[in-house]
Amino acid sequence: MSKIKIVFWGSLAVLTGLWLWADSFVTDPLGFFPVRAVMVQYSGVLGICIMSVAMVLAARPAWLEPHLNGLDKFYRLHKWLGIAGLIMAIFHWAWAKGTKYAVGFGWLDRPQRAPRPPEDILGPIEQAFRSTRGTAEFVGEWAFYFAVILIVLALIKSFPYRLFAKTHWLLAPIYLVLVFHSVILMKFDYWTQPIGIVTGVLMLAGVVAAVMSLFGLIGRGRRTSGTVTGVEYFPALQVLETRIELDEGWKGHQGGQFAFVTIDPAEGAHPFTIASAWNKETRSITFISKALGDYTDRMPHHVEVGMKATVEGPYGRFNFGDGGRKQIWIGGGIGITPFIARMKQLAQAPHDLDIDLVHTTSTFDDEPFRRLASDASGAGVRLHVLVDARDGRLNGERLRALVPGWETASIWFCGPASFGEALRTDLVANGLSPAHFHQELFNMR
């Protein structure tokens, strides 16, 4: 099981365990409304904790990358947590608000409400919380409706990235409203229990991340300004190569890492894999993008030499650093990009690595592939180019026949996710250790 799956399911299990330490699903007396009260608390606590972790991950904390194998991995975790938070929020709404609607429609009979303890025996904080319950319920309900809309939009792939980035930002203030809702309405006794302490810490961390988002502070310390100094378009491949000369501040990068690039401020930052080795003398960095969406379709007609740019990064742990001497690199389509950067890096210093690079592509263009062959030769890498129409598609069986000794190699894959999963399944079934298959999850949504 991957680290992010362990973190995801482990987090849900730990939070549930802490909640059970403070409360129970078994009510006394048994009945719908006592169970409802318990489920409202459980779903509310779990939901805000999940959202808090997702908010922290959205702030791109660099210190987490080594522990979760890169920003691409914990953005996948962020997505899972967002979906889980949405499910838990709907579950919470159904118990809290749905029951009230059922009573209003006459489908349920509400029992006599138990008398509340007198105000004068409550502490000042609990009194303040109780006096604000109505407001917390009202704003929390509307924040829930807006959050559902925004999360659903984020999951719709056809929704343009620039609009996704702008609307997704609105989840930060919505999250702050939900924190207020949770603080006021969480069972007061929880605050002295481990679940209350953990929930409070997670909400505090989430609030910090949300404020960073609202004030544009996420990634600010890793941004470097620059100027576009070269643009070359390869129409047969629908690929654009953009070269940017960076100002002082860039600390360098490793082959296989990526960065968020802003050229059009109205469009915002987009993630692109770096396709060059770092040279502090020239301070030049290259990105290769393929027309795969709204913005990348327009880039060849928009990006020009002399335009200002901002580069934030580097990010990612797709850095070929597992210690294996024999490596097989597989680049599917535009997934060749990290391997280009790595080859340029290897060409700068001698090495004893035994590397096969397999590049699969649906189209062929002489000049880009001449450059690719030159990079491979300079880095001491054996290059295998497979053009779909000419050579057929790559699969696990063909890869095993193509590269002798594959079972002892570390595999580095960048390309379509389903393609990578099919190769992983085949190779692992035939003897490869799962830990030796490394896959870039280059999908920020």
Residue 82 neighbours by CB under 8 Å, 6+ apart: 54, 151, 154
Q: Order across the sheet with 354-361: list the strands.
A: 382-387, 354-361, 326-332, 410-414, 437-439
* Tens-place pLDDT, residues 263-285: 988 888 888 999 999 988 899 99
Task: Tell which residue, 373, 424, 225, has the closest CA to residue 307.
Answer: 225
Mean pLDDT across 233-252: 91
Strands 223-234 and 239-246: antiparallel
Residue corresponding to tokens 């890169």: 70
Task: Tell which residue, 311, 315, 260, 317, has the closest CA to residue 283.
Answer: 311
Residue 393 neighbours by CB under 8 Å, 6+ apart: 360, 386
* Tens-place pLDDT, residues 341-399: 999 999 988 888 999 999 998 888 788 889 999 999 999 999 999 998 888 889 999 99
d(CA 19, CA 41): 9
Q: How far is CA 435 from the centre of its chain?
A: 21
H helices, E strands: number in the chain = 16, 11
d(CA 71, CA 300): 27
DSSP symbol at 274: B
* Tens-place pLDDT, residues 207-228: 999 999 999 999 999 999 999 9
Q: What is the pLDDT of residue 353?
A: 92
Q: What is the pLDDT of residue 2?
A: 80
CATH of domain 220-315: 2.40.30.10
pTM over 0.75: yes
Helix axes 133-155, 161-168, angle to 10 degrees: 170
* Tens-place pLDDT, residues 297-330: 888 888 999 999 999 999 988 888 877 789 999 9
Strands 410-414 and 326-332: parallel
Lowest mean pLDDT among 76-80, 113-117, 122-126, 260-264: 113-117
- State how far the alpha carbon of 409 is from the alpha carbons of 226, 354, 437, 438, in Å: 39, 9, 9, 11
Is it the case that residue 114 has pLDDT exceeding 70? no
Q: What is the pLDDT of residue 58?
A: 94
Token output for 35: 């169970």
Lowest mean pLDDT among 14-28, 105-119, 402-416: 105-119
Q: What is the chain's mean pLDDT, rounded? A: 89
Percent of the chain with pLDDT over 90: 60
Lowest mean pLDDT among 16-20, 52-56, 71-75, 226-230: 71-75
* Tens-place pLDDT, residues 59-89: 999 888 888 888 888 889 999 999 999 999 9
Q: Where are the domains of the chain?
A: 3-214, 220-315, 326-439
Both ends of the chain: CA-CA distance in Å? 22
Q: What is the pLDDT of residue 238?
A: 86
* Tens-place pLDDT, residues 395-443: 999 999 999 999 999 999 999 888 999 999 999 999 999 989 998 876 6
Topology of domain 3-214, per CATH? Answer: Four Helix Bundle (Hemerythrin (Met), subunit A) (1.20.120)
CB 70 within 8 A of CB 2: no
Please report which confidence band the pLDDT of residue 1 belongs to, taking 50, 70 and 90 as the band edges.
Answer: low
Maximal C-alpha separation, the chain: 83
User: How many alpha carbons lie under 13 Å from residue 310 in its C-beta half-sphere?
Assistant: 14
* Tens-place pLDDT, residues 170-197: 999 999 999 999 999 999 999 999 999 9
d(CA 204, CA 210): 10
DSSP symbol at 402: H
- 315: amino acid identity, one letter: Y
Complete DSSP assignment for 111-132: PPPPPPPPGGGS-HHHHHHHHT
CB 148 within 8 A of CB 89: yes
Q: What is the pLDDT of residue 417?
A: 87
Residue 106 Ramachandran class (φ > 0 left, ψ -120 to 50 alpha, else beta): left
Cis amide leading into 29 (omega within 30)? yes
Where b means 16+ CB within 10 Å and e means fewer, 424-441 reads: bebbbeeebeeebbbbbb
Q: CATH second-level architecture of 326-439?
A: 3-Layer(aba) Sandwich (3.40)
d(CA 243, CA 303): 11
Q: What is the pLDDT of residue 305?
A: 95
